[in-house]
Structure 1
Amino acid sequence: MRTYRFLALAAVSAAIVASPAYAEKGDVLVRVRAIVVAPNERSSAVTPAFPGSKVGVSDSVMPEIDFTYMATKHIGAELILATTEHKAQGRGTLSAVPTLAKTWVLPPTLTLQYHFLPDAKIRPYVGAGINYTIYYSTKASDELVKAIGPTSVHMNDSVGYALQAGTDIDITKKVFLNLDVKYIGMKTTARLNTGGAINTARIDIDPLVFGVGLGFRL
């Protein structure tokens, strides 16, 4: 009899340990990811001085943290926080200047998510929301200054949409692996001031953001 009780207790304990790390209404999920921000950029020429030019935007790899509040077992609201550094790259008639400027980008993004299988060990979700992008610490490169003279660079902030898909995969009762991809509508107008001579370029950045990391259910 003691053996049967011991086996029953062990089975119950194993079931508890193996139970999904799913979130209930009111829970908060915290995810820590490594992200790759891969722009799908398009730009106008840098006008009026550089017809035939284009501006590229470099990839960036950085850490990210996000917080999800579960309004129900299926519906969550996620706030994504990260900052990345990018290079604005000369192309076309500006290809002789590989780096035009460097800037830091802070794009806080809020998405509303739908979690398809909240009680399963593998829980896919999709989301959609809004993004506000702040460009800061923007500086002309030494290469640009050498080519055209002392130049200040400013990039306008922007508002755009965000689309998201991902999945959570259980590791323990409260810890899970997270895989995530986002498309973020992101744009700016870059303004170059070289001794009072103004040149501008409109840049649509529109990155794909690939993330992998760990999540924790608080």
Structure 2
Amino acid sequence: MKTTMKTMLVALIALASAQALAQESPWLVRARAVYVDPDNKSTPVGGVGAADRLEVSTKTIPELDISYFFTPHIAAELVLTYPQKHTARLDGAGIGSFKHLPPTLSLQYHFAPDAVFSPYVGAGVNYTRMSSIKLLDGAGDLENDSWGLSLQAGVNVRLNERWSLNADVKRINLRSDVYVGGAKVSHLKVDPVLFGLGVGYRF
């Protein structure tokens, strides 16, 4: 009888320890589908008063983010994806395309980390690398790098100790000078708003 009680006690302690470790794990990984909605407020090509403006197409992209919780309320989030291709338009007409890789690092505050609905806000920095720039049959070009601030708000909906659903919105400053034949002709203000839905796993 005593042996059975000891065995049960050890099993309960092990189960409780495993649950505590699961709850205290600092790592959260999420996969999201993100709709990218550019602001498209570029300066007119040809100067003030000109009608022609550069625009960037909307797009839905896959996204992976990794969060590390320093405390139950404070976390850092790194957003990753692969280079995304966008179509560029001038006054509604397609003029080519380019790719961008936009990793973003944010510091977040989670208001109710133990609740089923856990809202959070965050702010950070975005670095975007432009590549495969094919504008105006090779005559157009963009800067290769863009640094900008990012803001976000979202909510995690806990399904159990490990799995959760997520909804998130971000605004990123993404800008680049536009060149044709080596001369600057516009300042591209993409400044997208990103709407994301996804699922998370807490290790």
TM-score normalised by length of structure 2 = 0.82
Kept in 2: contact 1:132–1:157 (CA 8 A): yes
Q: 3-state SS of the aligned residue for 1:100? A: strand
CA-to-aligned-CA distance 1:84-104 (integer Å, 9 cap, x gap): 22111111xxx4xx1112011
Partner of 1:214: 199
Partner of 2:69: 70
Could you tell me which runs of 5 or more consecutive residues in structure 1 were left unpaired when the two chains were aligned: 1-11
Could you tell me which runs of 5 or more consecutive residues in structure 2 were left unpaired when the two chains were aligned: 1-11
TM alignment of 1:84-163, pairs within 5 A: 84-91=84-91, 95=92, 98-140=93-135, 144-145=136-137, 151-163=139-151
CA distance in 1, matches of 2:54, 2:23: 44
Whether 1:31 aligns to 2:30 is yes
Aligned with 1:171 (options 159, 173, 198): 159
Amino acid at match of 1:86: H
Kept in 2: contact 1:191–1:199 (CA 8 A): yes
Aligned with 2:185 (options 196, 200, 204): 200
Deviation at 1:199, TM superposition (A): 5.0
Deviation at 1:173, TM superposition (A): 2.0
CA distance in 2, matches of 1:53, 1:90: 6
Kept in 1: contact 2:109–2:122 (CA 8 A): yes
Which segments of structure 1 move beyond 4 Å, counting only runs of 4 or more? none
CA distance in 1, matches of 2:63, 2:98: 18
Structure 1, 179-188 or 79-88: larger mean CA deviation: 79-88
Partner of 1:6: none
Aligned with 2:170 (options 150, 163, 182): 182
Kept in 1: contact 2:130–2:143 (CA 8 A): yes
Alpha-carbon distance change, 118 to 103 in structure 1, aligned in 2, over 3 angstroms: same
Alpha-carbon distance change, 189 to 199 in structure 1, aligned in 2, over 3 angstroms: closer
CA distance in 2, matches of 1:67, 1:175: 14
Sequence identity (%): 39
Kept in 1: contact 2:177–2:184 (CA 8 A): no
Kept in 1: contact 2:100–2:128 (CA 8 A): yes
TM alignment of 1:5-84, pairs within 5 A: 24=24, 27-47=26-46, 51-82=50-81, 83-84=83-84
Q: 3-state SS of the aligned residue for 2:39? A: coil
Partner of 2:5: none
Root-mean-square deviation (Å): 2.3
